[in-house]
Chain A
Amino acid sequence: MNPEPSQSALIGRQRLVALQNFFKEEAASWLFVLKTLIAALIALWLAYRLELESPKTAVVTVFIVMQARTGMVLAKGFYRALGTIIGSGVALLLVAAFAQERVMFLIGLAIWVGMLTAGATIYRNFQSYAFVLAGYTACLVGLPAAMDPNAAFDIAVTRLTEVLLGILVASTISGLVFPLSIRELLLSAALKRFATFANSSGRALSFGVPTEEWGSLHLKAINEIVTLDSYRSVGIFDNPKTRLQNQTILRMSADLIAAASTLHVLNRHILRLNDPSMNAVREALDPLLATGVRLLQTHVPTSAFEAQQLMSYIGEWQAEIQKHKSRILAENTFSPEQQLAFDTALMLLEQFIDEFRHYGRSHSALQDARIIEDDDQAPPLIQHGRHATDFSQPLIAGLRTVLMLGAMSVFWINSAWPTGVLALTIAVVVSALFSTAPNPAKMVFQLWQGIALSFVAAFAFQFMVLPNLHGFTQLTFGLIPFLAFAAYLMTRPKWGAIGVGFGMFFSTLAIPDNVTQFNYAGLLNSGIALLVSATIAALAFLTVMPMGNQLSRYRMMRALNRQLIVACLNPLTGLRPQFERDSRELLRQIAGMRGFNTAKDRATLTDALTIQELGSAVLELRTLLGQPHSLDAARLSSVQTAISALARFYRHRNQRNLRALRQAFNNVIPQVFDQVFDNKGKEPTSNDRKIQIYLHLIQLQVQAIPDIDRPAAPEPEVSKEVAGYAA
């Protein structure tokens, strides 16, 4: 027997592990700092050597592009180059068209920037970033060029050269100096998702997870899938192995979403079984569930191997269920209602295990860098990196930028502000950059802090450090502490925006041009312009249709409702993955809105979960209706009527439609029951039973929809859930 380790030894070991983790983390941070410094200084040196107009732009670019993983740097660099090229082209076009007409020029610029800011909210990941850049580069190049139209072409070319130099250097350094592939990050994120999924399925199967908690689990899962997808999109720029994995990851996400949506329906059903009238069903199910619950709750996979092991146990469990289910069915005598509940649970359980095994298989294929050959399913539809949203979202983002640009232009023209160009440019940059962030005002505030810090630091640098430096080597040593500080801040997620702001604007303010000028008044003017523009951008985010305003909430909720209508009425081909993907994406955006946590929002979340469940069930039902079954024409049409009543209710949610919906399902259920009981002598074909089960699931959900005209009673959701059967 081992002696119990003493308390102090345990604490000591814990401290050691914590210390190790700390150093591991710190080492990664300092590696990043080192890479950023090398890249920034090489870019600066090259820019001086090539005698570019403003070498600082190259350094600023390095700070913007630099990230921990090589693939991310390449991706961001690629899209940044793309955006810069397009933006410069448009700027030249605008200057050529409206060189003398500043109002027309500014209007044209505002329209361009507004359009691209709107575009940025439609696309995701780095594609969105390219939109942002094409928008604000037009500002960055166009405004100085419009001041001096004769030099416009030179300004554009210089700007392009400097940015491309920065991108080139940053990509090369990040690829050559201790390159970090996105692959491990991807694999560990995939494993974590798998482990969490296994764990929450264990909990769902044992007694069901209450709706409210399930909502937050659901959101976490959606966000993790989005993160995985962003890694995937970066992987295209990573090494060739990750490139080949693209299809496997898409496949895994699709399998995961399929399993998750079945689990979602199953969880709600198991919650209903907690009702006392369903005790017999619960007891009959327990022996079937017990093995799985034990497996999923005790085996938390921490490696790809353990995940595979868990899947093989799950396979055994599936065989066990196959073996025992007919015996359990024979042993128990249920009332018809209980029988239906039992069959529902069993069918969902079997479907879930099947899909879970698919997911496990594609997950281990990803971990082992294999490619799944047998494509029995169409690959999922994630195309063009676009995501579902309501058109109000891009419209609001675009309008906000246009308004801000307009207001600042009016102020600039009327006050003849000398640094107005800089202020206008930076305001556009800031508002475009953060227009896709979930909480832009907070990010802008962080950036503001970064600017303020960099303002002070730039003063110190120009007053005290720069006059004593001679030559590039000494300049390097003068810059290192400041740049290292910025790079280190960038590694802390909490202060990321401060770090970026400091790095960008310290470089802008402090790094001397090829001909060093000591212009303190100019520095003061620029610094004030930066602070003012960031303040105005923050104000625009806070006041002009702030994130999570009533209108966007309403529109997004409507878009989510429309998903269900689509699920009810559109042609079935490819509809299921599309529904699962789009409804999740919309829910993610709704939940990402600022201040999403009030009681009303929780009702929204419950509503969204209901839509998810109803949509999955309706899609299954419609698929089943397309397969051979023995429903006659009259019954079939009554089922169709019920489905269209569902769509009608989600188009106009009022009490009349709700009553019609309930009526439709109350009519259809006994009819289909009749048919099954008519056939009682023969074994009902399993499709008939399944149709009945899905109708039953939808009906339970429909009954749980709260009445509309009554002000929503503060009834706890859980009791309503259980009341599905009690009612």
Chain B
Amino acid sequence: MPREIPLFDALIPTLLLILIGSALIYVLIDQLLRDVDWDRFVWHPALFRFALFVILFSGLGLWWYS
């Protein structure tokens, strides 16, 4: 898998695109979860969110580079 992708002739690290992608997915999931008022079931909402993002990002990154 390419480590860098040329975007308008500038080399952009693929990881950056993955970061942006996972941030978008994260926002989407967060919106969906907010509708069901999920933070009643979670002890530490901020930690939950952070972990969710880390899982998304590292999952996507590992999948891309494996």
Cβ of B3: which chain A residues have Cβ within 8 Å of it?
A: none
B13 within 8 A of A: no
- What residues on B are CB-neighbors of A176 within 8 Å? 44, 46-47, 50
The verdict on A239 contacting chain B, using a C-beta distance below 8 Å, is yes
> Cβ of A230 < 8 Å from any Cβ of B?
no
Is the beta-carbon distance between B45 and A239 smaller than 8 angstroms? yes
The complex places the Cα of A172 from the Cα of B51 at a distance, in Å, of 11
Chain A residue numbers with a CB within 8 Å of B47 are 176
A172 to B47: give the CA distance in the assembly, Å. 9
Residues of chain A with a CB closer than 8 A to B46's CB:
70, 175-176, 179
Interface check A467, CB cutoff 8 A? no
| Residue of B with least CB distance to A239 | B45
Chain A 70-86 interface mask (CB, 8 Å, partner B; 1/0): 10000000000000000
Q: Interface digits, B39-64 against A, CB 8 Å rule (1 contact, 0 not)? A: 00000111100100000000000000
Task: Choose from A70, A175, A179, A240 the contact partner of B34 (Cβ within 8 Å).
Answer: A240
Determine the chain B residues whose CB is within 8 A of the CB of A175 once the complex forms.
46, 50
Residue of A nearest to B50 (CB): A176
B9 to chain A, nearest CB (A): 16
Contact across chains for B45 and A172 when beta carbons are under 8 A apart: no
How many positions in chain B have a CB within 8 Å of any CB in the partner chain? Answer: 6
Chain A interfacial residues counted at CB < 8 A: 7
Please report the number of residue pairs spanning A and B whose Cβ atoms sit closer than 8 angstroms: 11
Mark each residue of chain A from 173 to 197: 1 if its CB lies under 8 Å from any CB of chain B, else 0: 0011001000000000000000000
What is the CA–CA distance of A699 and B50 in the complex, to the nearest angstrom? 63
CB proximity to B under 8 Å, residues A70-121: 70
- A70–B45 Cα distance when bound, in Å, is 13
Chain A residues with Cβ below 8 Å from B45 are: 239
A240 to B39, CA, bound (A): 11
Complexed CA–CA distance, A176 and B34 (Å): 19
Interface positions, chain A 232-287, Cβ under 8 Å from B, are: 239-240
Q: Please, how many angstroms separate the alpha-carbon atoms of A239 and B45 in the complex?
A: 9
Q: What residues on B are CB-neighbors of A179 within 8 Å?
A: 46
Q: How far is the CB of A214 from chain B (nearest CB, A)?
A: 44
Task: With both chains docked as a complex, state the minimum distance between the C-beta of B33 and any C-beta of chain A, in angstroms.
Answer: 11
A70 to B44, CA, bound (A): 14
- Give the chain A neighbours of B50 by CB distance below 8 A: 172, 175-176
Q: What separation, in Å, do the CA atoms of A179 and B43 have in the docked complex?
A: 12
CB distance from B25 to the nearest CB of A (A): 19
The contact string, 1 if C-beta is below 8 Å from chain A, for chain B 4-42, is 000000000000000000000000000000100000000
Q: Tell me the smallest distance from the CB of A609 to a CB of chain B, in Å.
A: 46
Given the complex of chains A and B, what is the CA–CA distance between A70 and B46 in angstroms? Answer: 10
Interface core residue of B44, B45, B46, B47 (most chain A CB under 10 Å): B46
Q: How close is A267's CB to chain B, nearest CB, in angstroms?
A: 45
Q: Which residue of A lies closest to B34 (CB)?
A: A240
Please report the C-alpha to C-alpha distance between residue A528 and residue B50 in the assembled complex, in whole angstroms. Answer: 43
Q: Report A151-180 CB contacts with B as 1/0, cut-off 8 Å.
A: 000000000000000000000100110010
How many angstroms between the C-alpha atoms of A574 and B34 in the bound complex? Answer: 36
Docked CA distance A70–B49 (Å): 15
Nearest B residue (CB) for A172:
B50
Chain A residue nearest to B46 in the complex (CB) = A175
Q: With the chains together, A676 CA to B50 CA distance in Å?
A: 71
* B27: min CB distance to chain A, Å: 13
Q: Which residues of B contact A239 (CB under 8 A)?
A: 45
A176 to B47, CA, bound (A): 6
A696 CB, nearest partner CB in chain B, Å? 55
What residue in chain A is nearest B45 (Cβ atoms)?
A239
Complex CA distance for A69 and B25, rounded to whole angstroms: 28
Smallest CB–CB gap between B30 and chain A, Å? Answer: 10
Residue of B nearest to A179 (CB): B46
* Closest-CB distance, A127 to chain B (whole angstroms): 24
CA distance A239 to B44 in the complex (A): 12
A247 to B45, CA, bound (A): 24
In the assembled complex, the Cα of A157 lies from the Cα of B44 at a distance in Å of 35
What CA separation (Å) do A172 and B50 show in the bound complex? 8
Q: Using Cβ atoms and an 8 Å threshold, which residues of chain B touch A70?
A: 46
Measured between alpha carbons, how far is A376 from B4 in the docked complex, in Å?
58
**Assembly CA distance A161 to B35 (angstroms):** 35
Distance A179 CA – B45 CA, assembled complex (angstroms): 10
Give the complex CA separation of A52 and B50 in angstroms.
25
Provide the residues of chain B in CB contact with A240, threshold 8 Å.
Answer: 34
Interface 0/1 of A542-558, CB less than 8 Å to B: 00000000000000000
Question: What A residues does B44 contact at CB under 8 A?
Answer: 176
| Bound form: Cα–Cα A179–B46 in Å | 8
Q: How far is the CB of A524 from chain B (nearest CB, A)?
A: 41
In the complex, chain A residues whose CB is within 8 Å of the CB of B34:
240
Kindly list chain B residues whose C-beta atoms are within 8 Å of the C-beta of A172.
50
CB distance from B65 to the nearest CB of A (A): 18
User: When chains A and B are docked, how far (Å) is the Cα of A179 from the Cα of B44?
Assistant: 9
Closest to B30 in A: A240
B10 CB to nearest chain A CB (Å):
12
Q: In the complex the two chains form, what is the Cα distance from A240 to B44 in whole Å?
A: 14
Please name the residue on chain B nearest to A241 by beta carbon. B39
A622 to chain B, nearest CB (A): 46
* Min CB gap A95→B, angstroms: 20
Cα of A175 to Cα of B45 in the assembled complex, Å: 10
Q: How far is the CA of A588 from the CA of B44 in the complex (A)?
A: 40
How far, in whole Å, are A596 and B26 apart by their CA atoms in the complex? 52
State the CA gap A239–B50 with chains docked (Å): 14
- In whole Å, how far is B51's beta carbon from the nearest beta carbon of chain A? 10
Bound state CA distance, A59 and B45, in angstroms?
Answer: 27
Chain B residue at smallest Cβ distance from A178: B44
- Report the minimal beta-carbon distance from A165 to chain B, rounded to whole angstroms: 14
Nearest B-chain residue to A174, judged by Cβ: B46
A residues 207-245 touching B (CB-CB < 8 Å): 239-240
Determine the distance from Cα of A239 to Cα of B30 in the docked complex, in whole angstroms.
Answer: 13
How distant is the Cα of A175 from the Cα of B34 in the complex, in angstroms?
18
Which residue of the partner chain A has the closest CB to B47?
A: A176
Whose C-beta in chain B lies nearest to the C-beta of A240? B34
How far, in whole Å, are A409 and B46 apart by their CA atoms in the complex? Answer: 47
Which 5 pairs, one residue from A and one from B, show the smallest C-beta to C-beta distance?
Answer: A175-B46, A179-B46, A176-B47, A176-B46, A176-B50
Taking beta carbons and an 8 Å cutoff, which residues of B are in contact with A? 34, 44-47, 50
11 A-B residue pairs with Cβ-Cβ distance under 8 Å, sorted by A, are A70-B46, A172-B50, A175-B46, A175-B50, A176-B44, A176-B46, A176-B47, A176-B50, A179-B46, A239-B45, A240-B34
Q: Contacts A175-B46, A176-B44, A239-B45 known; list 8 others, CB within 8 Å.
A: A70-B46, A172-B50, A175-B50, A176-B46, A176-B47, A176-B50, A179-B46, A240-B34
> Which A residues lie at the B interface, using CB under 8 A?
70, 172, 175-176, 179, 239-240
